Amino acid sequence: MTPTFGERAASIECKSIPSDTSLGPRLEDRDRPSARYRVGDILKVMVLAICGYATILSLPAILGALARAYGFTDQQIGLIGSAELLGVTVGTLIIANQHGQQMRRWVLAAAILVGAGNLLASLHVPFAGVAFGMWLVGVGAGIVGGLAYKVGGQSSNPDRLIAWINISQLATGALGYQILRFALPAFGIEHALRGYAALALIMIAVALSTKVWRPALGDPEMPRAWSLPPRPALIVLFGFWFYCCGEVGLLAFLERIGVANGFSVDQLGNALSSFSLAGIGASLIVTVVPTSWPRWMLLLPALAFGEAAVLGVFHSATITHYAVSCASLAVFFTFTIPLILGVVSRIDPSGRSTALGLTVASTGQALGPAIAGALVTGKNYAPVGWFAGLCYALAIVSVLLFLSRWKRPLGSSQQ
């Protein structure tokens, strides 16, 4: 019988922190007693990540609605997307070295930021006010997202747990796109943002019901002293930064590119929903990939096919072709993220580098829309595609550079 999600989550054991994070003969010390997070805590951090990231998960639709309702230019839309994702960077840096009771306080702070930021953006304030509101939302999202990735990075199967976190978020994103299809014409972006602000109440309830997030056995917390991740992890994270920069730079303009191709907003709603649904399928694949399969054999093809999907977005003659291209982007993007962060976690089992992986990702995601927006001239979005393609290529180069010196962490998690 196929195990349920709860049984899978309950079986995820946290790795002990080795005293040396260098790449020795083994990436983890299996002689030490293992630790395990409670299923309830895993589910709670998933709920927090969903609520905190709700606005970001529907970012293309929200940015398009802001452009229409507030009269923002493409460059301003890119800056708003960047402001929100820069906030995520700040939030992940805040949470990276927090422990125990401090977690509860920061989750409460994150809920307040998410609620206040969405409310501010809903007040039809000028561009600077909307950008600041989205930045506040990003900080709150980064705090709860960093907590979720920290838990994932400490597990013995990090790529699988991170894939489950992605599945929960993508499912919410797909649902959000469908709701926005009807909510935006009926109520406008202002009321939609107020609905997102109400999710802060759920975050507060979760925070108040939990005193600390720590493993049931042992306490593999990250070291309090700040230090750089191991060099192999830095190389992987370097490529991850470019990957996220190009992907989200393109993602922020998916709706605008579709409109420029002559597709209606209603058609694009279905196409963008396919993005999230396809991502769910890709993440599910990661949860069942045998741990004995070398990860580099999965990473490189996924990056290469992602490059091809970028071309498909800009050469779509029909809405079906466009939807397939969007779905392909999601498949390879969401398939690759857990694998990359799983590699980082095996290099540094403390979870610290994995949490910083979200910082790296959010920084790239923040700069991506701003750079892409600056490249747009009139209604010519082709430079966005060239930019995304270049970033994908640099990500492939970083993986190849990593493989040229360190190949073991990209292999089996059982080694």
Between the alpha carbon of residue 305 and those of residues 42, 85, 262, 299, 405, the distances in Å are: 32, 26, 26, 10, 24
Q: What is the DSSP letter of 408?
A: G
Question: Which alpha helices (DSSP H) does 96-157 contain, by range?
Answer: 101-121, 127-153
The pLDDT, as a whole number, for residue 217 is 38
- Ordered structural domains, the chain, with CATH: 37-219+227-410 (1.20.1250.20)
Nearest CA to 84 out of 125, 120, 132 is that of: 132
Residue whose pair of structure tokens reads 């600390």 in the numeric block: 212
Residues 20 and 168: their CA atoms lie apart, in Å, by 34
pLDDT of residue 155: 66
Residue 160: strand pairing partners? none
CB 122 within 8 A of CB 190: yes
pLDDT at 156: 64
Give the sign of the dihedral formed by CA 252, CA 134, CA 362, CA 372: positive
Name 189's Cβ contacts closer than 8 Å, sequence gap at least 6.
62, 65, 66, 69, 70, 122
**What phi and psi values does residue 14 have, to the nearest 5 degrees?**
-85, 145
Q: 35: helix, coil or strand? A: strand
Residue with tokens 């493989």: 403
- What's the pLDDT score for residue 61? 81
What is the C-alpha to C-alpha distance for residues 302 and 305, in angstroms, rounded to an integer? 5
State the pLDDT at residue 30: 34
Of 214, 227, 204, 58, the C-alpha closest to 140 is: 204
CB-CB contact of 374 with 82 (8 Å): no
**pLDDT at res. 133:** 92
Q: At what angle do helices 158-208 and 319-347 cross, to 10 degrees?
A: 90
Closest to 277 (Cα-Cα) out of 176, 191, 201, 385: 176
* pLDDT score for 77: 83
Averaged over successive runs of 10 residues, the pLDDT of the chain (415 residues) comes to 46 39 34 51 82 83 84 82 83 72 80 93 87 92 83 69 78 79 84 90 86 49 55 83 86 80 74 69 72 71 81 78 81 80 74 75 80 82 87 85 63 41
Residue 336: both structure tokens together: 């690759």
For residue 381, what are the contacts with CB-CB under 8 A and spacing of at least 6? 253, 256, 257, 260, 314
Chain Cα centroid distance, residue 410: 21
Tell me what pLDDT residue 9 has: 43
